[in-house]
Structure 1
């Protein structure tokens, strides 16, 4: 559910635009990822505690830790159908983040549940530079397969994503990182 579902359609925004990522396209995409676990009763299984932010540090190591934290927050948002923390750590103009927020809101409103689809960032690279205001962190991400259960009981599946190129633009503001935007290119 990278900015929505990474696969399924061609993710437009959010849940890699949950609805937009179901067709599978190649090329850079700015979208969102989703992860919502459904219990046997069909209601979301909330993760009790939100991810803990790493200590803010304006360095390559700090940027890497923050990007890993961002994906944990992204997964948490889908698991809990709640985007307050995601909004707090992203710039207002982050199209991927806004799309994710919109997608999660739609899922909640429609009563759709997602099982699986967690995103994990594997390889990661931060340029070894003196970071003044921002940096682009690159790496690869994997996403678990997902199953969507719609309010009417119908189900849709999305296959796993492996080794998708990911670029996360970060801005250093005051004493913390904010996500400026995310681009994902499926291989």
Structure 2
């Protein structure tokens, strides 16, 4: 091992104090170099960090949902649609339930499907939603209609061992028609109809 700069300075200082005779070859016994026995250790390969798919990241709640207005209805409809792939990818139905009216048939069917998927140990990937157009209108005080034109990306369902259960290879563009209400505290999705976009 190469001595450090500090070690070398101490050795020089010792020779200066003891005189040159004290640092001659005859008076210094050679110190054998230490034997270091070590077996070569393999450098572990870095473990790749798994990438979280986009659909497994909770969508951000739009600030416009705080409004009881057409803009608020549009934001609520879009946000609800973005929660769809997230619920399937994660099994997390918290926000989906918060926005769903208890009588909403479409909303309840998604809850049932996700719960069955989780119980079976299955998982889903894909179903990314790309919004092309959203339009809302006021029906009466606190009640709104909205349409969302969006394309749902390809998706796969896998079992607990990672084997393919089902898949949809082609994107689907649909028009979703919403009935929404705001009760003064929060938005509720009353019903959703889904039709292939013309």
**TM-score of the superposition, structure 1-length normalised?**
0.67
Equivalent of residue 116 in structure 2, options 92, 106, 125: 106
Q: Distance in 2 between matches of 1:159 and 1:166?
A: 21
Deviations 1:19-56 (A, max 9, x none): xxxxxxxxxxxxxxxxxxxx97xxx9984656324342
Equivalent of residue 134 in structure 1, options 125, 134, 143: 143
Root-mean-square deviation (CA), in Å? 2.7
Shift of residue 71 of structure 1? 1.6
Q: Which structure carries more helix by proportion?
A: 2
1:149 equivalenced with 2:162 (yes/no): no
Secondary structure of 2:66's match? coil
Shift of residue 184 of structure 1? 0.3
1:70 equivalenced with 2:80 (yes/no): yes
Query: Which sections of structure 1, spanning at least 5 residues, go unmatched?
Result: 1-38
1:51 equivalenced with 2:52 (yes/no): no
Shift of residue 70 of structure 1? 1.0
Q: Distance in 2 between matches of 1:108 and 1:186?
A: 28
Q: After the TM superposition, which of the residue ranges 47-56 and 78-87 deviates more from structure 2?
A: 47-56
- Work out which of the two has the higher radius of gyration on C-alpha atoms and give 1 or 2: 2
Conserved? CA contact 2:55–2:128, under 8 Å: no
Conserved? CA contact 2:100–2:107, under 8 Å: yes
Conserved? CA contact 2:104–2:189, under 8 Å: yes
Conserved? CA contact 1:142–1:164, under 8 Å: yes
What count of residue pairs does the alignment treat as equivalent? Answer: 146
Please name the residue that 2:170 is paired with. 160
Aligned pair in 2 of structure 1 residues 156, 162: CA closer, same or farther (>3 Å)? closer
Deviations 1:148-180 (A, max 9, x none): 212462432113343311101101112321111
Query: Which sections of structure 2, spanning at least 5 residues, go unmatched?
Result: 1-48
Larger RCO (CA under 8 A, 6+ residues apart): 1
Conserved? CA contact 2:78–2:148, under 8 Å: no
